[in-house]
Amino acid sequence: MFLPNNIMVTGGAGFIGSNFIHYLFNNPDFQGRVINVDSLTYAGNLENLTEIAASVGEKRYFFEKADICDGELMEALFKKYEVDAVIHFAAESHVDRSIYGPQEFIRTNIMGTFALLEASRKSWAGRKDVLFHYVSTDEVYGSLGETGYFYEDTSFDPRSPYSASKASAEHLVKSYFHTYGLPVTVSNCSNNYGPYHFPEKLIPLMVANAMEAKPLPIYGDGKNVRDWLYVEDHCTAISAIVNRGVRGEVYNIGGESEKNNLEVVHTICEVLEELYPLKDNPVVKEVSPGLGAYEELVTFVKDRPGHDRRYAVNCDKIKKELGWSPGTDFPSGLRKTIQWYIDNPGWVENIRSGEYKKWLEKNYDSR
C-alpha cells in the first residue's frame, strides 16, 4: 500500500479538490501533509477550507497561490515540500464556458498538466515510491445512446473544447508512464455533486435559483442523462486508487445513479419544498409572492451546441480490483447536498457576488 507523506493537491480550493482535502484530514490513516496549489480563479474559494486551515494548523496544511502552467514554480514547490504524490484536480471545467472561451481550457488543462508532468519527471528522477494521479472525466468518451456504458478501454470521442482538453491531457499523462516510466494513475469520473459545488453546474445552480425564486433553465427537452456521483464517494475512490491502484492503469468511477436533467430538477424542487417550504422562504414572499411551487420556476431554453445525450460509466474494474463501490445513493446524497446549501446561504452569496458575477454579466447576460 502506498501512503504518501507530502501530497500536492492541485485545484484544492475548488469543488472536488476541497472535498478531497477535507476527506484526507478526516481520515485517521492519513498522517501526512497537504500542499494545496490553486491560482484562485473565479471557481476557487478558500472559504471551502476555513475549517481545515483552523483545525490542522501550519505544520500539515499549506496553501500556495500559484499557476500550474508555471513550470519553474512547480519544480520549486516540489523541492520545497518534498512532494511524493500529486493529485491533479486543477482544470477549467464548465462545458458552457469552453464553448464561448476555449483558450483558457487549452492553456490550463493541457499546458498546465504538461508543466506538472515535467516538474514531476524532473523532481522525482526515476523514483518509484511516488505517484502522479490525474483526475479526468467521462466526457472524454463522447456520448452514448439509450443503452451501453463507457469502459476504461472505450475510444475517446470528445465533443466540446472542455472534454477535448481533458482527453489531450489524459493522453499526455499516459505517455509519461510509457515513455519515462513516471508512476501514474488515471480516473474518469461521472458527474459529481455535493457541498462546495460552484453554482454554475446543474444541481447547485437549480438549488440556488429556486431559493431565490429565479428561473430554473433546462437545456433542450431536459432528457440528457448523466450518472451522478456523490463527491465523498469520489474521494474514497481516488484514495483507493492512490493507495492500491496499479500504476499505469485507468479506473472509471461512477455513482450508478443515472438520471435525466428534468428528473433531477423536479426532484430538487420536491426536496426543497420539504426542507425549505415556499411559505417559509422570505425571498420568494418578496420577489414572487404568487408562486405556488418551486416547479413553476422551470424554464426550457435552447440547447447548447454539442450537448452529449447520455453518459454512463461501467465501474466494475475498481469494484473488483480495489474493493470500492459508491456508498451514497442519489436520493440521500441529493438531500444532504440541498440541506448544505440551505444551511450555508452566506457561502452562496459570497460566490455569486464576487468574480463569478462579474464574469456572468460580461459573458452571459446579453446572450
Domains in the chain, CATH or no CATH each:
6-194+231-256+309-328 (3.40.50.720)
Report the 10 Å Cβ neighbour count for 194. 24
Q: For residue 23, what pLDDT is reported?
A: 97
139 is catalytic: yes
138 is catalytic: yes
> Which grid cell sits at 151?
469502459
> Which grid cell sits at 79?
523541492
What Cα–Cα distance (Å) separates residue 240 from each residue in 24, 55, 295, 326?
12, 25, 39, 12
Q: For residue 259, what pLDDT is reported?
A: 96
Low-confidence ranges of the chain (pLDDT < 50): 360, 364-367
Residues 35 and 64: their CA atoms lie apart, in Å, by 7
Q: For residue 361, what pLDDT is reported?
A: 55
**Close Cβ partners of 63 (under 8 Å, ≥ 6 residues apart):** 12, 13, 36, 38, 46, 49, 53
Residues 261 and 220: their CA atoms lie apart, in Å, by 10
Q: For residue 366, what pLDDT is reported?
A: 34
Name the catalytic one among 67, 138, 233, 308. 138
Q: For residue 34, what pLDDT is reported?
A: 98
221 is catalytic: no
Whether the CB-CB separation of 265 and 218 falls below 8 Å is answered with yes
The amino acid occupying position 195 is P
Give every strand in the sheet of 225-230, ordered side by side.
191-193, 225-230, 258-260
Cα atoms in the 13 Å half-sphere on the side-chain side of 349: 7
Report the 10 Å Cβ neighbour count for 264. 23
Entry pTM: 0.93
Residues 232 and 24: their CA atoms lie apart, in Å, by 11
Q: For residue 94, what pLDDT is reported?
A: 81
Q: For residue 365, what pLDDT is reported?
A: 43
State CA 347 to chain mean position distance: 18
Whether the CB-CB separation of 310 and 225 falls below 8 Å is answered with yes
Name the catalytic one among 134, 162, 311, 341. 162
Whether the CB-CB separation of 62 and 34 falls below 8 Å is answered with yes
Name the catalytic one among 38, 64, 92, 139. 139
